[in-house]
Structures are given as structure tokens and as C-alpha cells.
Amino acid sequence: MSINISKQNKQQLLEKLKAIKGYLKGAEKTQETAELLSFVDEIERELKSKKYGLVFEEHREEIEELLERSTPVLKEDPALSIDHGGIVNALIEGDNLASLTALKTEYFGKVDVIYIDPPYNKGKGDFGYQDKYVGDEDAFRHSKWSSFMLKRLELAKELLCDDGVIFISIDDNEIASLRLLCDRVFGEKNRLSVHHIQVRYGNKSLNEKKDFQEVCEYVLIYAKNARLFHANKPAEEYSLDKFCYEIKETGEYTEEVIGGRNVKIFKKGAYEIVKRPIGCLGFLKATWASGSVVKGNASGKYFETYLKPRKEIDGLGTLYKVDGIGEDGLGYRYFTGPNKAEATQGLFYSGVPLARVREMAEGGSKKYRPIGNFYDFAADFGNIRHEGGVAFNSGKKPTKMLKQFIGYHPKKDALVLDFFAGSASTGHAVLDLNDEDGGNRRFIMCTSAEQNICREVAYVRLKNVIEKTKKTSLKFYTVEFEEGTK
């Protein structure tokens, strides 16, 4: 039973139950009153239980039972190792619940980046449970998937370091459950983004029977601790293009103290604003004092509070030169009030901030943009078949997309883990990214022995990539079980 109820309503119902309980306790002790009392207890428990979150049935897996009586250990297969010196990466074959448990001994709190691409639970044989594929007619299909994922996400969290980050690919089938699961495991406050990834073109649908077509998948991004993870953001050179205004004081002014600041007031005609064709240091940038600027910016706030109401006093098109505002070293800031009777907004004119001037003098100043949450990888998904030189039809992901995610982590020597590795696209992406930016990242790929994917697809792919540059090494491990638990 599950009840949606307000806190106040809940309190009132609990009071009523208390009264019924009191009455039943005082009544004659019969089997009937005993039964009624136990019903009341049950309702009380239900009312008091936490209501928000994902409710699902827990499903035991055979691997859990095996893990309860034995210890998983990683056994290297030297015949499959590739040794070119340099960084040593790992490929692990086995159920990932066992691989993750085994990795805990050495890698607890040491993994910087996790990318996973779990089965999407499409009901078409992509998700197996107890060696049987979960079909779309299975009433417990969502419970089985959530239960399977919860255990693995909890282990993943233990492996992440304090400034670590996890990326999880998913589609419409389980996005809702996964988001609630991740909010529970990593905490809602650590959710950084839900990326929307275009994976196919809308006009490519050949299935006319479908009313709706999914062109997007999602990538949930959580930090182990959002305060400690600082993503690499897209950057561009700080531009002076907009610093192209010059203000000339050409006539008389009056002086007044407004909002505690000394202000020179130039009526329309007593000043001139010249726009230069090219922006440069020494000129000014115009910013509208409107929207979020009036709340988060000192000049915006000053305009909103003190100058906006002055339209009636000073007239339209007035220029204000306000002392003591700005971080551009000028010592004053110009503002203009509205030019039309029906207008209310004004502009302020700022010079290049002194901190930027210093950075430019030291060799360059960067302006950072936030990371967006929509990316079009439709072309890359369309051309994925030959990537890595292996055929794999179960959700291969483009290395271009994976490089982007891995690159969000500022560490160029990050340890990257993928425990639903499939064809090991993530390992491939790590090696390519290192080649591109001179990084020293290393990877651990884990994938099941199912259909010999680990040896015939993941291993072959990683070997293809490694042999091209012969700069890095790979160790191949299987998960073995030792009697007893440690």
C-alpha cells in the first residue's frame, strides 16, 4: 500500500489512529479487537514510512549468493597481456558485481571518472537476470532492473574519489527509475546535469507505424561531491569586441548625492556617445540594466534602486556619472536612463575589468562558458559500426562523445572505470584522448563473459588501438572465487 498525503493530513490521521487504538485497548479483549489493533498498527507504520523515492521489490541474484560464501579475486591471464611499457590498463572479464567487489580492495575511493552504459531494459533481450532475458511482459521488469542497478551503483560510489564523477547513459525506458536511484545513491544535490544526446536523425525513421520517434538518449551526471568536482568548461579568449563606446561630456552638469554616491547629471544634449567600429582597451561596453543584471550586479542594482525612479525628475535621455562604482579602475561609471516615455530600462557603460587587463598582460585571459545539456551526436552514432575495428550491435557508443565526458574531469591522469564496457569504447576513448592532449589517463574496463564479448570484442578492440601506437600496456583479468569471505 502506498499513500500520497500532506504532512498536516498525515498528522491528523495519526491522531485519529491514536484515538482508535486507545478505544480498542480499553475494549473487551477479543480476537476481533486484537485483529483490529494489528490493522491499526499496520496503517500507522505505513503512514510513518518515508514516501518519496523509488519503490521496488528487491531481487536476489545468484552472484550475490556466491559473493556471500566466497571472495572474488582478480586473476591475471598473462597470455593475453599486452606489454609496451607506459601506463598499465586493465580489462576484467566477469559479472560486474563481482568485479566491483574485487576492485574495492585496491581502488576504494581512487577512481576519478566512471562512465557506464547499462542495459536499457528495452524488454527485447538486452537485460538478463538469472540467465534469462527480461521481456516486456515480465511484471517485475522494472523492479529487477532497479534492484540490479542499485547494488552496482552503491559499489560504484564507494570506488569514486571525493572529486570523482559518474556518467550514465540511458534511454526513455528507465530514465525515471535511474534518476531516482541515482538521487538516492549519490544525493540529489550532487546531480550535475542530465545531458540530452541526439543519437539519430528525426527524418531517418522508416517505421511508419510509430506515432512518436525517440531521437534522444540521456546521460545522467553525478559528482561524488558537487562542491569538490570542478568541471573543465569550454573556454574562449576574452574578447574586447564589445568595448567600443566612448562617452564625451560636452555640456553643463548638475551634481547630487544619490544613494550615498556623488553623481554628475548630464541632460540630453550635454553629452555624446560615440560607437567605434572596433572594440579595444580604453573604451566602454554597454550593458542593459534589466533581467538578472539588476539582481546580481552592483551597477544593475544601483540603476534599479536609484536611477530608474529618476525619469520623472531628470527627464528622458539623461546621462549619470556615478562615483565609486566598478572594478575597471576608472573610479566612476556612466549610466543612461530611458530615451522614450514608455521605457523604463537603462544602460551602464563599463571598462575592461582590471583583473582581465592583468591577465591579458600576462599572456591571455579566458572566458568560460557553462557546459550545455544538449549535444548532437547523431552523425557519430550513425557511423559507429567500424569504430575500433570490431562489430558490436549492443549499444556501442561513439568515442567522440566519451572523450567529451572524460575531458570534463580536470585531471589529465584520471583513472577511468567502465563496468558495462561492452566493446570497450570507453577504453578506446581514454587512449585517443591521451594521444590528443598528452594526458596520462588509464582505464579499467569490466564486462561480462556473455557471448565471449570480453575476449572477442573488447580485448580485440583494445589490442587494435594499443598496437597502433605501442605506447601503453594492458592486463587481462578474470574474476575467480576463493572459498570464504574476508
Give the residues lining the site for ligand SAM (CB under 6 A). 95-96, 117, 119, 392, 394-397, 420, 422-423, 425, 446-448, 450, 453
Min. distance of Cβ 94 from ligand SAM in angstroms?
Answer: 7
Please return the burial class of 343, using the count of CB atoms within 10 Å of its CB with bins 0-12, 13-18 and 19+.
exposed
In this complex, which beta carbon is closest to ligand SAM, that of residue 314 or of residue 380? 380
Side-chain-side CA neighbours of residue 250 (13 Å): 11
Min. distance of Cβ 100 from ligand SAM in angstroms?
Answer: 9
In the block, residue with C-alpha cell 566598478: 326
Task: Taking the CA atoms of 13, 15, 21 and 24 in sequence, report the sign of the dihedral they define.
Answer: negative
In this complex, which beta carbon is closest to ligand SAM, that of residue 425 or of residue 472? 425
Min. distance of Cβ 166 from ligand SAM in angstroms?
Answer: 14
Dump the DSSP string for 202-264: GGG---TT-S----EEEEEEEESSTTT------EEE---TT--EEEEE-S--EEEEETTEEEE
In this complex, which beta carbon is closest to ligand SAM, that of residue 284 or of residue 416? 416
DSSP SS3 for 276? coil
- The DSSP output letter for 82 is B
Min. distance of Cβ 137 from ligand SAM in angstroms?
Answer: 21
CA nearest neighbour of 472 among 8, 56, 76, 85: 85
Q: Which residue is nearest to ligand SAM (CB)?
A: 422
In this complex, which beta carbon is closest to ligand SAM, that of residue 198 or of residue 345? 198
Min. distance of Cβ 477 from ligand SAM in angstroms?
Answer: 13
C-alpha to C-alpha distance for 32 and 21, rounded to whole angstroms: 13
Strand partners of residue 271: 249
Min. distance of Cβ 121 from ligand SAM in angstroms?
Answer: 11
In this complex, which beta carbon is closest to ligand SAM, that of residue 17 or of residue 66? 66
Min. distance of Cβ 123 from ligand SAM in angstroms?
Answer: 15
Amino acid at 263: V
In this complex, which beta carbon is closest to ligand SAM, that of residue 143 or of residue 318? 143
Min. distance of Cβ 299 from ligand SAM in angstroms?
Answer: 49
The helix (H) or strand (E) run that includes residue 322 is: strand 319-323
Enumerate residues 6+ apart whose C-beta is below 8 A from 104: 155, 158, 159
In this complex, which beta carbon is closest to ligand SAM, that of residue 347 or of residue 462? 462
Contact 198, 377 (CB under 8 A): yes
In this complex, which beta carbon is closest to ligand SAM, that of residue 63 or of residue 289? 63
- Which cell numbers hold the place of 470? 605501442
